[in-house]
Amino acid sequence: MHVVGNKLNIKSTVVKNICCIGAGYVGGPTMAVIAKHCPEIQVNVVDLNKNRINSWNDINLNNLPIFEPGLDLIIKEVRGKNLHFSTDVKDSVIQADLIFIAVNTPTKSKGIGAGQASDLRWIEGCVREISEYAQGHTIVVEKSTLPVRTAEVIEKILNTKSKNDDKTFSILSNPEFLSEGTAIDDLENPNRVLIGGEDELAIKTLYDIYAKWVNKEKIICTNIWSSELSKLTANAFLAQRISSINAISALCEKTGADINEVTNAVGKDERIGEKFLKSGPGFGGSCFKKDILNLVYLCNYFNLPEVADYWMNIINLNHWQQKRISKLIIEKLFGTVTGKKIAILGFSFKANTNDTRESPAIQICKDLLDEGAKLAIHDPRVSQKNIEFELGIKSKNIDESDSRIKGDSLTQEIYFYWCENIKDSVNGADAVVILTEWNEYKNLKPNLFNTNMRKPAWIFDCRDVLNNFQVDKNTINYWRVGKG
């Protein structure tokens, strides 16, 4: 453990007011859990996006901008008491003893490092605002995943400005390891909390906040660079497991092995472990790809091209897995999907979230649309608008006549059908493609497919959710990832 960890018997500063900049998938749930466990602290979550803040303040808890199991109950308990959502960055920063930065850090789209490095313009913008408005001593905590040594940049901006007045700052790194869909449980019972920094008093102050509900043994203190690199490394390792198992899934399909039997046998080795070995259409989410690209950029920057290539291949394999699935669907449907209705079940990047960032469904749907397929998309939580945004095309609501689409409905216009229920999506379809492991899809009855699809039909179970599934083998073909 870093030396600071041994000195945690020092007295911490009393925190009365916390500000979090960024009310997204990380900032919102994390602050809700902190507010729940620290009723004596006022927590202000601020965001530039007014609509998002309005949704956080919506009386109807179904309208929260983020769907996370258990989040609504906590919001109900603490919102308006010690948890507040607003767009007032200035006032919230003025009041804060401790500020979390939880804004998004997308991959740069142009300039040096385009396609790999993180775009830090929002981080820099926030830091400049903090340096302008903060008062007295403020602890600034990086919550966003950042390239290693970003804390140095933050420190430079804050300390240059504050030389001329009586403001002082301590910078900490406190990466978030929550996983969407289980965010509340991950925050309530984390495997570990990581705090990186040099200022012992600041570390102890943040440590004491987490220690209100997290077992002290699980709070790890490191130097700031180790903390930043640990987050990238953890995500890279997790993504690597998925690419590894997806690579083997393709081999299983060729050889007659069954991926479930292989993962069961392999995962029983305690050194390997059973978690994160589920093959599927490839990993999505806002973190894995971005963090690996960051790692690749860092390795190239420090002239380690072999290491950069090693990690880059994890992403390449993930892309290949998505492409091979769309190619396979087209091949199985007699080499053409033009004008055919294909039901897409699931659009979020995993179950129990409405998040679609980097979802494998995006690439697979785009490939099928390019080939002229008519997609009928269903997802229990993702909005019609969000799917339109991700695919860059408009949708039509499916109605009775549409749901009887036949193979001859050729048209030049590109759109997809938005389906509020599963039956509308499957009705008259030549193929069903399951892309997210939602519970709703696990118990679908064979009859839904046997009676409603156009024959011969295909079911592509890319998440292997339809366990022991019996369909009429004479008219319906069933493919599942890692088995063929």
Binding site for ligand UDX (CB under 6 A): 21-27, 47-49, 52, 102-105, 122, 125-126, 143-145, 176-180, 235, 238, 242, 276-278, 280, 283-288, 290, 349-350
Q: Give, for 45, the enclosing helix (H) or strand (E).
A: strand 42-46
Nearest to 207 by CA among 130, 95, 98: 98
For ligand UDX, the closer CB: 207 or 349: 349
CA–CA gap between residue 363 and residue 283 (Å, rounded): 12
Closest approach of Cβ 392 to ligand UDX, in Å? 19
Q: State which residue, 32 or 476, has the beta carbon closest to ligand UDX.
A: 32
**Which of residues 22 and 482 has its CB atom nearest to ligand UDX in the complex?**
22
Q: How far is the CB of 180 from ligand UDX (least distance, A)?
A: 4
Number of Cβ within 10 Å of residue 312's Cβ equals: 18
Q: Is 176 a catalytic site residue?
A: yes
User: Strand, helix or coil at 335?
Assistant: coil
Contacts of 27 (CB under 8 A, 6+ apart): 20, 21, 45, 47, 100, 102, 103, 143
Which residue, 197 or 284, has its beta carbon nearer to ligand UDX?
284
Spatial contact of 83 and 43, defined as CB atoms under 8 Å apart: yes
Residue of 143, 167, 231, 340 marked catalytic:
231
Considering the complex, state which of residue 259 and residue 343 has its C-beta at the smaller distance from ligand UDX: 259
366 is catalytic: no
Going by C-beta distance under 8 Å and a sequence separation of 6 or more, which residues neighbour residue 331? none
Decide: residue 36, CB within 10 A, 0-12 exposed, 13-18 middle, 19+ buried.
Answer: buried
CB of 28 to ligand UDX, least distance (A): 7
Which position among 68, 143, 167, 176 bears the catalytic label? 176
Q: Taking the complex as a whole, how short is the minimal distance between the CB of residue 304 and ligand UDX, in angstroms?
A: 23
Alpha carbons within 13 A on the beta-carbon side of 142: 32
Report the residue number whose CB is nearest to ligand UDX: 24
Among 309, 329, 321, 183, CA closest to 248: 321
For residue 203, give the nearest of 191, 219, 190 by alpha carbon: 219
Closest CB to ligand UDX among residues 277, 444:
277
Q: How far is the CB of 58 from ligand UDX (least distance, A)?
A: 15
Determine the Cα–Cα distance for residues 378 and 419; give it in Å rounded to an integer: 5
Neighbours of 169 (CB within 10 A): 22
Residue 447 contacts residue 425 (beta carbons within 8 Å): no
- Is residue 231 among the annotated active site residues? yes
Catalytic residue among 287, 299, 365, 462: 287
CB of 409 to ligand UDX, least distance (A): 32
Active site residues: 176, 231, 287
